[in-house]
Amino acid sequence: MSAPAQVADALSPLPGHGGTGEPVLQVRDLVKHFPVMSHGVVRRRVGDVHAVCGVSFDLHENETLGLVGESGSGKTTISRTVLGLESATSGQVRYRGRELTELSRRRMRPLRRELQIVFQDPYASLDPRISVHEIVAEPLRIHGRYGPGADDEVRELLRLVGLNPEHGNRYAHEFSGGQRQRIGIARALALRPRVVVLDEPVSALDVSIQAGILNLLMDLQSELGLSFLFVAHDLSVMRHVADRVAVMYLGRLVEIAPARQLFARPAHPYTQALVSAIPLPDPRKERARTRITVQGDVPSPVRPPSGCRFRTRCPKFAGQLTVSERAACVEEVPALVDRGGGNPVACHYAESVELL
């Protein structure tokens, strides 16, 4: 994009919402393609999965930025690329003004401490062969910080996340799903990070257990001033935890706004469809709702539609636009800019709608 300063303004929180000050993390024009190889003996590159296409956002101190979108929209790819677990095809990731994508391994290492991740699957992400104490202690060892007193530090971490420190000698499989997720959080906190990426941290849990984890995360953030990049597909969870929400569709950001505004007055037809599709646990309200429904399935990210990627399912495109208006949707990629509603929206015909 040609005017980075302007973009930064549009992608930062509005006054009075969420974090303040300089962004901790700045992501600009992030692109990630995965090669698609042919089958057969000689494997050739036959195309690309356009997993993430020109995504830009800021994350501020003490802020939770939610990243929502349906399966395959690129949420995990963004999380992994931001943390350097995956190399970007192009674009920049700046942490406190330092360009992460250009750092050498050695120079990256101390920064690694400050950016941590918690994964979705508490079953798969913890080493089954070592005790819980060791799982939490491991990052300290790797970073040469396991000094005298570290044993107490680990016990304190377990206590902090609501686990009994006496159980440190047990193995991950002896804990319930919710407890395992707490172990993952204790491990992520061990190095006292400033930014934590949470990739679907509660999606695998029953709601009664999920609520405890959400409370824990919110306490940690407010007390420690952490910044969260919070990935989820559950919009109700998002509404509860996020200061701002960024909505992904097929590799692109389609709308970003303070949480309250995004749910009260979504402006992108895809955001509207998402909000509209979430069932409310309130029988009278749920029966009385009018719905904006979309047709069909998400197209393949190998050959995404030209222009606006949502056009093949967009109810506005199908039902409201004239033939000549549709031309813009087909030909021009809609930029993520403020279109009068106060927040960036990537739709040529954005229009706020009240749905709840």
Partner 1 sequence: MTESVLEVDGLTVEFPTEDGTVRAVRGVGYRLERGEALGIVGESGSGKSVTALAVMGLLPATARVRGSVRFEGEELLGLSDARLSDVRGKGIAMIFQDPMTSLNPVHPVGYQIAETLLRHNPDLKARGARARAVDLLGTVGIPSPERRVDAYPHEMSGGMRQRVVIAIAMANDPDVIIADEPTTALDVTVQAQVLDALETARAETGAALVLITHDLGVVAGHTDRVAVMYAGRMVETGSVEDIFYTPRMPYTLGLLGSLPRLDREEARLTPITGSPPSLLHLPPGCPFAPRCPLRRDACDGAEPPLRPAGGDGHLSACHFSEELVGTGAGEVFEAAGADSAALARFAEAAPVNTPEEDAV
By CB under 6 A, name the binding residues for ligand ATP: 34, 49, 51, 69, 71-77, 233, 301
Helical ranges in the chain per DSSP H = 4-11, 75-82, 105-112, 132-142, 150-160, 177-189, 207-224, 235-241, 259-264, 269-277, 283-288, 315-319, 323-331
Residue 76 or residue 181: which is nearer to ligand ATP going by CB? Answer: 76
> What is the C-alpha to C-alpha distance for residues 52 and 284, in angstroms, rounded to an integer?
39
Least CB distance to Mg ion at residue 124 (A)? 13
Q: Does residue 73 bind Mg ion (CB under 5 A)?
A: no
Q: Which residues contact 279 (CB under 8 A, 6 or more apart)?
A: 286
179-198 residues near ligand SF4, rule: CB under 6 A: none
**Contact of residue 308 among ligand ATP, ligand SF4, partner 1, none (CB under 5-8 Å per partner type):** ligand SF4
Name the phi and psi angles at 128, rounded to 5.
Answer: -75, -15
Query: In terms of CB distance, is 38 or 176 closer to partner 1?
Result: 176
Chosen from partner 1, ligand ATP, Mg ion, none, partner binding at 164 (C-beta under 5 to 8 Å by type): none
Strands 252-258 and 115-118: unpaired
Within residues 65-84, the interface with partner 1 by CB under 8 A covers 70-71
Residue 162 binding partner 1, by CB under 8 A: yes
301/172 Cα distance (integer angstroms): 36
Candidates 20-28, 106-114, 195-203, 310-318: pick the segment binding ligand SF4 (CB under 6 A): 310-318
CA distance 124 to 139: 18
Query: 7 vs 292, which CB is nearer to partner 1?
Result: 292
Q: What distance in Å separates the CA atoms of residue 84 and residue 53, rounded to the nearest whole number?
A: 17
Q: Which residues bind ligand SF4 (CB under 6 A)?
A: 269, 308, 310-311, 314, 316-317, 329, 334, 347-349
